[in-house]
Amino acid sequence: MKIHMITDLEGPALVSRFNQSRDVTPEDKVRWMRLLTGEVNACIDGILDFDTDAEVIVWDGHGSGGIIEEEFHPDAKLIARGPISAPYGLDDSFDALMFVGQHARAGTGGVLCHTYSSKSIEYYRINDVELGEFGCRALMAGTMGVPTVFCAGDDVAVEEAQELVPNIVGAAVKQALGVELAIHLSHEAACELIRERASEACAKIDEIEPYFFEGPYTQEIRYLEGVSIQSSLNQGWEYADPRTVRKTAEDICELRV
């Protein structure tokens, strides 16, 4: 079995403020990175509980890095945060994609919800379907025939995943009370839940269809009020209105996913 995992720093239990993931000193950030690293390691343990020979490759998807490399699981492989573009090491040789530390898309009321940038983006749409980071990357995997089988994060992120992938296995490690407020499991309880559910997800891989719809793919990106779209125009994106750009491609990895 070969599993690809995408991680983010806004989704672990006990993280619910932007000054834990975005506006944070390096000294304080290590505390929150340790929570994510523990949940990632628990997910890897769950995969290995199901298949002791599984190959697990994790991409650290948080903008400034979210994994403590020295504490990363010894029986998995890590793509540490750095200059990388889609598909982030994923290809059709993988049996499944998993998400750990995931947040919901912008505007949902989930804990630290945003779409790629909490400071600049109002929404992403692909072929008129509004998708957050989970949806864009699940679709990317779907174009390769790879199913997305597991999502750990707050309850809103898990519900978002289940809307797109009805049979996905979820692990809600906190309940959203607002964008910066939640009821959390302890770190230990969150890790136990993730390990158990990740193993369940492995057992269901053949039952879960990839999230997919046909291309070509037209992506529309709408920026927040006051944010310039000029950099996107300079990169060849089409002007739609003063806050919105779009681009069409046959290969989804040529878009922003």
Catalytic residues: 114
Q: Classify residue 5 as left (phi > 0), alpha (psi -120 to 50) or beta.
A: beta
User: Please, are residues 47 and 199 in contact by the beta-carbon 8 Å criterion?
Assistant: yes
Residue the block writes with tokens 């403020």: 17
**Sign of the C-alpha dihedral, residues 22, 28, 33, 39?**
negative
Provide the token pair at 1: 């079995």
Dist CA 201 CA 230 (whole Å):
42
The alpha carbon of residue 96 and the mean position of all alpha carbons in its chain are separated, in whole angstroms, by: 14
**Cβ(173)–Cβ(39) under 8 Å?**
yes
